[in-house]
Structure 1
């Protein structure tokens, strides 16, 4: 306890010493604090006076703006009241007009009602008069209303048919003239561009002999030479009584040509025995393959067609030894390609597609003896397998309408084929086929009612139809010619076009006594 008391006294003594030593400093700090507080009070008073002035100025501005807004609102309200008063006056005037119009409408409705009643009365009177007159007309004419209506309808129908036939004839004539003019122009341009001479060729199946003695050498001892020749070539040799000639028979024109050339070489050489026959036939076969490839390349070059597969060119060359109705198919294909290219350029179609399809359109004939089916579809399948485009394949398949033509190029190829094969002198046909075609034309023409006789003339290019004048009138003959043409198109196959001429003849006979 004594220690705590001593310590307390020490602290108090130290505090007293510190107060004595730092008292002047404390007084100085107090004076500075009072001076700073005075300055802050004066600054605050100055700021408060300034803020008070600003607040008074702002209050005055707000009051002036409020008074201006109130004045403007009062003016707008006065204008609105004036506008409302004007609208009320207009509405009152409009109401007066509406009232007057309603009165007018009521008067008009009353007048219309009176007129309707008058019209109904007149209508009833007209119906009564109509019935009475109709009964009187039926009594005088001796016909009922239905009978008279039927007569009138028949007359109107006959008149309408006559008018329709005249209009149809006029439209057909105009379309025919325009189409014929355009077609003649395109075809003439195509033919002028082609300007090539062409002679129909026949596959030679008869080999002439220098003498009759060579027949025995061809047959050989016990027939060994002829059997070896037929076995190696695949061609039958017919040795008959024909003087100084033997006949080669085979469905394959290439094998037949190989046999013809080989037999010709053997006859010139004179050495005819199985070993020599095999040697000569093999060399001839290689020569024919070379000739076909060269002919295919020549035709492709002359047609201006590029990018064909080598197998296509080789198959195309086989057509050199293929004929159709006496027309060489390879030359026919080249002619079609040139015609199709010329027509495609005139019509704005794809020239390359038309030329390529026309050149390849009969390629199926090179293998049609090996594959079953129409040559158009066979050729289209070959072209498809060897990389030709769908447009070319379609044009090949549709040139004989086994497929329905869907493109301009397909129609061009069909037209070029008809032009090349249908022109005079291009093809030949047997007498039996010729007579059957003419008979078919006459049969189609005479199958229509009212036809008396029909004659196929100008090698089947025209059929003249004689009709009974009391069964077919002048306008009916137009319809009859059109129907016969359509039936010929649907039922017959023919190159080019067939003209149908209907003749109606009326004879007046009298006697002078």
Structure 2
């Protein structure tokens, strides 16, 4: 019996110990769980605070960038507005002068017509006198009437001419001088009107992209990508709110072409980084040089030129991307070579040197000009480094002279250059009509009461309209666009699409 009690007691002690131990570890476990949950909650709160802080920093940074871009855009817009207003004032002043000289010319023409009428009256009077003399003379017998009549007529003509010769001479000289002045005014006015469109044509390129989302990728964080592209190519990249358009600005055609090729190369990349841009630029530059070399090689083969250095051939190819006096520089140089060849053959001069000098005569226009030298001197010095024939070098150096040529070939190249420029000027585009049409389009848009200012681009096919209000909804905006398009078509008889972008005032 004692054994049973002992066993029971032992079991009871074991159970008691187990329950106490279980309760102790259960409380410890719950305490650890509670601490873990508090620690996890604390970490979550810290991460949330850090996330909110980062979002706030990004928001402030984007806000600053937005303000900066808006300020730059407004500054450029104001500058363009001032330029256009100044150009409009100049145009109005020249128009007033033109009409003034036109009225003066009309006045002189009326004076000449009046003088002509007076002379006609005098001639009629003289004819009457002659008839009277004729009647009287017929009454006198044995006289040669025809001889007397001719003598009398010559005498009267001489007397009238001597009497009014100085006056007629003065009128003619004065009219000639006034016509010369008027012609000069018209030519200067035409030059001023065409200066802006020509500058735009030869300094700005527009690149079309698939969608506007690519603009942000192209700009990069804080503008890193776009600044790197500008530094590498030397061209200015303008990205504004024009849908699916990027503007590339540079007066240097090669830089503009490289920038366009580089953007086309990287635009379809999933991610654009500085490393990708630099790698793509090296590829584009290599492709550009190879393309220039092939163009130069093709031209040399067409002209039958041999033994040119590879650097010279590549530089000749690069002339294809430059313009001189409205002509493609390579086409002009090739034209000079062909014209010079024909002149040399007819003058019995060796045409080979003339062809070589003709294709190279303007090569100095695309070379760096560190010392501000004339392009013919730069070109001659550059060609001299390749041990070219001295006749060719002298022809390049003297192609703008009119006398004192060291070789006959120099005269032929100079003459061929002048002929090419004259021929090219005859094929120039009439920018005056284009400029007038753009001005008219802008005036028609600005006649609307909601329009503050209008700017026409791409030969009038794209118009940016700055509104006086920002309270137009989408329907009202589309109605305004339709109204302006219809007005322009009716007034100017334009066919095809006219794209109008509305810019709301902030």
Which protein shows a greater Rg? 1
Which TM-score applies when normalising by structure 1? 0.42
Higher relative contact order (CA 8 A, sep 6+): 1
Which TM-score applies when normalising by structure 2? 0.42
